[in-house]
Amino acid sequence: MTPYILLELEDWFEDEITFVRTCVEPGTQAFDIGSNHGVYALAIAARLGQSGHVWAFEPTRKPLAMLRASVAENGFDHLMTIVDCALSD
């Protein structure tokens, strides 16, 4: 469902993304744990300007590949670190 929503709507449909965007300013340091396709990580990176950083954690192969492609396509390589692993307690 995620690729369809992002391709058709060009945005995410949940209200939380608007809240996240209002909290981010240049210099923000953020973790996206369970990043999936990177909806939140990419939205945060887009608001960072040239400073700040996002660490995106995703262990699943297909979403991870899409996340990496999106980071490269958007030129966010210097703003994001993708970590190929799962996190838990």
How far lies 59's CA from each of 15, 21, 22, 67, in Å? 26, 25, 28, 11
pLDDT the model gives residue 89: 84
pLDDT at 6 over 80: no
88 inside domain: no
Of 3-7, 53-57, 59-63, 78-82, the least confident:
3-7
pLDDT at 1 over 60: no
pTM: 0.84
pLDDT tens profile 26-69: 999 999 999 998 989 999 999 998 899 999 999 999 999 999 99
18 inside domain: yes
Q: Give the range of the structural domain holding residue 12, as residue numbers without chain letter.
A: 2-83
Domain count, the chain: 1
